[in-house]
């Protein structure tokens, strides 16, 4: 360990370069992860906020919630049979404020439920992000397809759907706007929710997220970038330590000749890898958390500390693998070869 630390101290620039590369790659990974998570929240917070359970869509809906219509009798039976079951509908739309300014929203309605705000007719509960657009409690909002007016009675935190703030309205108002009597989906919470109900197709929360247009594609692209960056950082470790090891083959040979164990040489390399990675990760975790606090309000960015810690562990594992692969050279080094190479 001492020898490893002494090399780091003596060759500061070399290790500083590797450290800064790891710092930049991990910082970029955390930022993209924050954006992916933020976009995911922005796209599907409404669904992500509900507890685990199953969503049921009409079998004829081709796994698209907007095409689904649950038969009213069947809905009543399900709500009666399963404790906590809720029927709900979601449709994209807009509301106009007093200045006739249009705001995109996702109208959500549901049967009586603890999962969503209970709103009376002609009332609306909005996602809190609409406060930033100047809407206050008591404001009156309108919709072209709705004969009445909505009075804003409250705001709900983090309730977005398909990148739009959610507007919770009553079933009666919803039915008037969209000229439909049936609800789109029934949600049954808990692990004992049935896998199949006649005429309906079941979806776990995660599966239901993928029925949201663009959700799957968006998340897949961002996650691919994240994992590419993780793999690239592993390769950087392997390449950097490979180059360092090539430079040090003579040294390793001499150390082996005087009796240093191969395992000690590996430990030296692992210690250096660990030191560089931990310092780089501490800096990038700190900076990304700071960014998370100062990120512009309109930017969908969410970076829980658990995510950064999980990614940090992945970086450490990948760094360890990369360094170890490059270290196979150490095992192959022959002392004699090093002695014959001359001065290091």
Partner 1 sequence: MAIFTIDDVEKTFKNGDVSEKILKGVDLDLNEGEITALVGPSGSGKSTILTIAAGLQKATGGQVLFEGKDMTQMSQEEIRKIRSSEFGFVFQSSHLVPFLTVEDQLLLMLDVAETKLNKKQQKQEVLKVLDLVGMSHRKDAYPSSLSGGEKQRVAIARAIIHQPKMLFADEPTASLDSKRSKEVMEIIRNLTKTLQITTLMVTHDEEMLPYADRIVTMKDGLID
Burial of 169 (0-12, 13-18, 19+ CB in 10 A): buried
CB 197 within 8 A of CB 103: no
Q: Which is nearer to partner 1, 145 or 337 (CB)?
A: 337
Q: Which is nearer to partner 1, 9 or 179 (CB)?
A: 9
> 3-state SS of the chain: helix, strand, coil percent to 5?
55, 20, 25
Which 3 state secondary structure label does DSSP give 134? coil
Q: Which is nearer to partner 1, 251 or 278 (CB)?
A: 251
- How does strand 53-58 pair with strand 185-189? antiparallel
Under the criterion CB under 8 A, does residue 336 sit at the interface with partner 1? Answer: yes
| Least distance in angstroms from the C-beta of 271 to partner 1 | 14
| Least distance in angstroms from the C-beta of 12 to partner 1 | 11
| Least distance in angstroms from the C-beta of 242 to partner 1 | 19
Site string for partner 1, 315-334 (x = CB under 8 A): -------------------x
d(CA 96, CA 313): 48
Neighbours of 80 (CB within 10 A): 9
* DSSP code, position 59: G
| Least distance in angstroms from the C-beta of 343 to partner 1 | 4
| Least distance in angstroms from the C-beta of 258 to partner 1 | 6
d(CA 99, CA 139): 11
Q: Which stretch binds partner 1 (CB under 8 A): 9-17, 27-35, 138-146, 191-199?
A: 9-17
Q: Which is nearer to partner 1, 31 or 244 (CB)?
A: 244
Q: What are the residues facing 95 on neighbouring strands?
A: 103
Which 160-189 residues touch partner 1, going by CB under 8 A?
none
Site string for partner 1, 242-281 (x = CB under 8 A): --------xx--xxxxxxxx--------------------
| Least distance in angstroms from the C-beta of 294 to partner 1 | 41
Which 3 state secondary structure label does DSSP give 212? coil
Residue 35, CA distances (Å) to 32, 149, 199, 218 in order:
5, 36, 38, 11
Q: With CB under 8 A, what is the number of residues at the site for partner 1? A: 24
Q: What are phi and psi of 303, to 5 degrees?
A: -130, 85
Q: Which is nearer to partner 1, 257 or 295 (CB)?
A: 257
| Least distance in angstroms from the C-beta of 13 to partner 1 | 13
d(CA 271, CA 5): 8
Of 99, 100, 157, 343, the one binding partner 1 by CB under 8 A: 343
Q: What are phi and psi of 167, to 5 degrees?
A: -120, 110
Under the criterion CB under 8 A, does residue 231 sit at the interface with partner 1? Answer: no
Give me the residues that bind partner 1 (CB under 8 A), please: 3, 6-7, 9-11, 250-251, 254-261, 334-336, 338-339, 342-344
């Amino acid at each position: 360990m001492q020898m490893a630390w002494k090399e780091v101290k003596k060759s500061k620039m070399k290790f500083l370069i590797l450290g800064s590369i790891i710092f930049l790659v991990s910082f970029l990974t955390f930022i993209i992860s924050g954006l992916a998570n933020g976009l995911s929240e922005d796209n599907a917070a409404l669904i992500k906020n509900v507890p685990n359970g199953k969503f049921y869509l009409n079998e004829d809906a081709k796994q698209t919630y907007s095409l689904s219509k649950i038969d009213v009798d069947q809905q009543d039976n399900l709500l009666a049979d399963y404790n906590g079951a809720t029927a709900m509908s979601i449709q994209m739309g807009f509301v106009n404020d007093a200045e006739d300014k249009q705001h995109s929203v996702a109208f959500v309605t549901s049967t009586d439920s603890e999962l969503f705000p209970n709103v009376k007719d002609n009332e609306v509960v909005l996602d809190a992000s609409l406060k930033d657009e100047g809407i206050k409690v008591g404001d009156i909002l309108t919709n072209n397809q709705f004969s009445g007016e909505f009075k804003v009675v409250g705001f709900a935190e983090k309730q977005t759907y398909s990148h739009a703030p959610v507007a919770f309205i009553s079933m009666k108002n919803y039915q008037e706007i969209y000229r439909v009597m049936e609800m789109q989906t029934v949600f049954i919470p808990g692990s004992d929710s049935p896998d199949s109900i006649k005429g309906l197709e079941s979806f776990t929360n995660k599966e239901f997220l993928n029925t949201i247009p663009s959700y799957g594609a968006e998340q897949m692209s961002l996650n691919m970038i994240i994992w590419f960056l993780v793999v690239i950082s592993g390769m950087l470790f392997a390449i950097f330590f490979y180059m360092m090891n090539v430079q040090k083959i003579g040294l390793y040979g001499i150390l082996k000749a005087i009796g240093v164990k191969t395992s000690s040489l590996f430990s030296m390399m692992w210690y250096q890898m660990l030191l560089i990675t931990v310092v780089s990760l501490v800096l990038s975790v700190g900076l990304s958390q700071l960014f998370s606090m100062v990120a512009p309000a309109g930017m969908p960015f969410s970076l829980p500390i658990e995510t950064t810690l999980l990614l940090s562990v992945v970086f450490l594992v990948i760094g360890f693998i990369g360094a170890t692969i490059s270290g196979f050279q150490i095992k192959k080094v022959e002392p004699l070869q090093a002695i014959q190479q001359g001065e290091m």
